[in-house]
Amino acid sequence: MEKFLKTVKDLGRLKVIDKPLDVELEIPHVAYVEIKKERPDVLLFTTPVDKKRGYKYSIPVVMNCFAGFDITERIFGKHPDRVAEEINSLLHMKPPQSLKDRFKMLSILLKLRCAL
């Protein structure tokens, strides 16, 4: 996550919000408003709170990680449409019938393993 936040910051696409905001209403609302913009940014809320319980969280909240095609492309190293195509092909994968098909499937699965 730190590497991701650094990358987004270097792209100039990270907004850091230090004001204490509620995790139930305020943070989701701010994220919703941001994602509707033409070029939304990733949001880092450094002081999330639960106002109903009077609790201050010690872990920051990150929202809109996939805020734009450029950010998503940077994360996956390819356009989001290409990622969707690959996921779709995995969902519709059939058992291999020949030795050639088995090697092809093995290649696909190894690529997937390396991506994780």
The tens digit of pLDDT for each residue in 66-91 reads 888 888 888 888 888 888 888 887 78
In angstroms, the CA 63 to CA 44 distance is 7
In angstroms, the CA 98 to CA 75 distance is 35
What value does the mean pLDDT take over residues 100-111? 82
- 9: tokens are 């910051």
Q: Residue 114 pLDDT > 80, yes or no?
A: no
DSSP at 41? -
pTM for the model = 0.72
| Percent of all residues in the chain with a pLDDT value above 90, rounded to a whole number | 52
Q: 33 near 64, Cβ under 8 Å?
A: no
What value does the mean pLDDT take over residues 47-57? 96
Band of pLDDT at residue 22, cut at 50, 70 and 90: very high
